[in-house]
Amino acid sequence: MRSRDGQVRLSNGMPHQARKRFGQNFLHDQGIIDRIVQSINPQASDHIVEIGPGQGALTRPLAASGARLDCVELDRDLAAFLQTNVGKQANVTIHQQDILKFDLASVQHDSRRLRIIGNLPYNISTPVLFYLLQQHSRIQDMVFMLQLEVVNRMAAQVGDKNYGRLGLMLQYYCEVEPLFNVPSAAFTPRPKVSSAIVRLIPHQTMPIQAKDPECLQVVIRTAFNQRRKTLKNSLKAIISETELTTLPLDVSMRPENLTLADYVLISDALTEQSESHENE
């Protein structure tokens, strides 16, 4: 229940304290809440999965839309609080689980693709994003609140200081659309950083298709592990300079100066090389 002073109280009557190990910061600014809900625009025909609903700031308006709503909350006490307060509604199911171990297929029982919503703590945001990318074909769109720095990395273009592995892989699978910033004052406890809302829309038709997306990820990760080195040096562990120079690329460039299409070119060359060795 929520007490008169606005605090969430658990079944034992004690106020819930934000848990640092879960990276908990709870959104309380109603104007920001309304703006996020407007950005999501939930419909009764939607199937929404909310990651880390916390104290239910977004859960209540999402549930009120009539959409089917599956909430995945790791904190046992908050999961129990949500079950008592919104979980009894016919269209809402509370799952006390770790999102990184949660199988989206377990809740997807019809042809509707999922809409994924969440306020992702900084310490797990990148693992969660990469985990969801593995299941991108199941997803209609994703709207997340993340640390502003992470959103800048997600949307960065070639040559930007924030350009790197996260943005490249997300843009391979999705259209990335930063929506608006959220000040730290909108949360309790107040974080030391600013946040932002971002929308990800998985490509229905891939604008660039790698022969092996896993190989692409290895190429990008290897390149940016030594981002200050030139391409021929940062990638020498997986492809020789001789092989690189057969591609229409400037091997003296740094990783941040290559486009996604350039990385797909390198990845495809490695895939073809691997396939030819297997056929020998």
pLDDT > 80? residue 191: no
What is the tens place of the pLDDT at every residue in 232-245?
Answer: 999 999 998 899 99
pLDDT score of 187: 81
pLDDT score of 23: 45
pLDDT > 90? residue 166: yes
Nearest to 227 by CA among 252, 253, 250, 256: 256
Query: How far apart (Å, rounded) are the C-alpha atoms in residues 136 and 10?
Result: 36
- Count of CB atoms within 10 A of residue 276's CB? 9
Mean pLDDT across the stretch 66-87? Answer: 94
CB 208 within 8 A of CB 260: yes
Alpha helices in the chain (DSSP H): 30-40, 59-64, 76-85, 122-133, 148-155, 165-173, 213-225, 231-234, 241-244, 260-279
Q: What is the 3-state secondary structure (H, E, C) of 136-191?
A: HHHEEEEEEEEEHHHHHHHHCCCCCCCCCHHHHHHHHHEEEEEEEEECHHHEECCC
What is the tens place of the pLDDT at every residue in 128-138?
Answer: 999 999 999 99
What is the tens place of the pLDDT at every residue in 173-189?
Answer: 999 999 999 988 888 77
Sequence ranges of the domains in the chain: 20-202, 213-279
Query: How far apart (Å, rounded) are the C-alpha atoms in residues 39 and 138?
Result: 21
Domains 20-202 and 213-279 belong to one CATH topology: no
Mean pLDDT across the stretch 112-130? Answer: 92
Query: How far apart (Å, rounded) are the C-alpha atoms in residues 238 and 39?
Result: 43
> pTM of the predicted model, to two decimals?
0.86
Q: What is the mean pLDDT of the chain?
A: 88
pLDDT score of 142: 98
| Residue % of the chain over a pLDDT of 90 | 74
Terminal Cα-to-Cα distance of the chain (whole angstroms)? 67
Say which CATH architecture domain 20-202 belongs to.
3-Layer(aba) Sandwich (3.40)
What is the tens place of the pLDDT at every residue in 16-32?
Answer: 444 444 445 778 889 99
pLDDT score of 274: 77
What are phi and psi for residue 78, nearest 5 degrees?
A: -70, -35
What is the tens place of the pLDDT at every residue in 192-226?
Answer: 788 999 999 999 999 999 999 999 999 999 999 98
pLDDT score of 277: 63
pLDDT score of 12: 46
pLDDT greater at residue 70 or residue 11 = 70
The CATH superfamily assigned to 213-279 is: rRNA adenine dimethylase, C-terminal domain (1.10.8.100)
Quickly tell me which residue has 């790698």 as its tokens: 210
With bands split at pLDDT 50, 70 and 90, how would you rate the model's confidence at 9?
very low
